[in-house]
Amino acid sequence: MSGAATSAKHSALINYPKQAAFGRVLPKNKIYEHSGANTRLKDLFVEQVEQIVWQYKLAPETINLPPKPGVPEVQVFRIALKTLELSVDVLKCIDGAVHFPILFELEHEGKIKVIAAHKRPSEADASKWVVSDYFSTAWKPANSERSDLPMVLDLAGLYETLLQRLIPLAPRAQESFAALVKRLEGVTTKQREIDKVRAKLAKEKQFNRKVEINAILRQLNNELEELSH
């Protein structure tokens, strides 16, 4: 991330307005019921999650910004964790149960991080939501300085601006937010491919095969560079 993205001025930690405070504890079993969670998922909630609080409701009536298609409101959930790790499946389960875009603030032992996915209504079925990969900040002290709510024209603009602060790529000229998210997912996929090929290279004994694998690795690294800039 660039220095600007991590400074207090453009921090992903936001000083949300008092009038947007909601402060409702969400029982874990309600989330299970809404999403049809299996036993493994329920166990993850029990092992990893202490409490889920619906902390803020960013809506036309609370922050005086008009809604847009796909972004009628934005919710902020605070999750107190029992462990430093939280399975992405837990976040997917919550996102599946709540039909609004959500930003999550995770807390554990005096540390905090912000994590979210880009969530939008499906083009094929408007009653279903499409959720991207999750992107997040690093852990930082829970009392870190927070920045003010960004100046935007509507709730969609607010949502995209807040998500942008979690994304380690700068948008290209004329690149839409959806295209930026897709490119970031491409970077993640390419990085996984590179890791697999590196592991393969480390195990390979034959010189000729090593040369071939190195050529593949170079190509993948070039593709990663292309996607990243």
Query: Which pLDDT score is estimated for 202?
Result: 95
Q: Report whether pLDDT(21) > 80.
A: yes
Residue 4 has pLDDT above 60, yes or no: no
Distances (CA, A) of 61 to 21, 72, 192: 12, 11, 43
Cβ atoms of 5 and 163 closer than 8 Å: no
Q: State how far the Cα of 148 lies from the Cα of 127, in Å rounded to an integer.
A: 33
| Integer angstrom CA distances of residue 33 from 23, 27, 29, 38, 94 | 21, 10, 6, 10, 11
Residues 6+ apart with CB under 8 A from 8: 144, 145, 146, 147
52 burial (CB, 10 Å; 0-12 / 13-18 / 19+) is: buried
pLDDT digit string, tens, across residues 102-158: 999 999 999 999 999 999 988 888 788 899 999 999 999 999 999 999 999 999 999
Mean of per-residue pLDDT scores for the chain: 91
Residue range 48-73, pLDDT digits in tens: 999 999 999 999 999 999 999 999 99
Helical packing angle, 88-97 and 39-48, nearest 10°: 110
What tokens does 54 get? 């619906």
For residue 6, pLDDT over 70 is answered with no
Tokens for 185? Answer: 């997912």
Q: How far apart are CA 193 and CA 225, in angstroms?
A: 14
With bands split at pLDDT 50, 70 and 90, how would you rate the model's confidence at 9? Answer: low
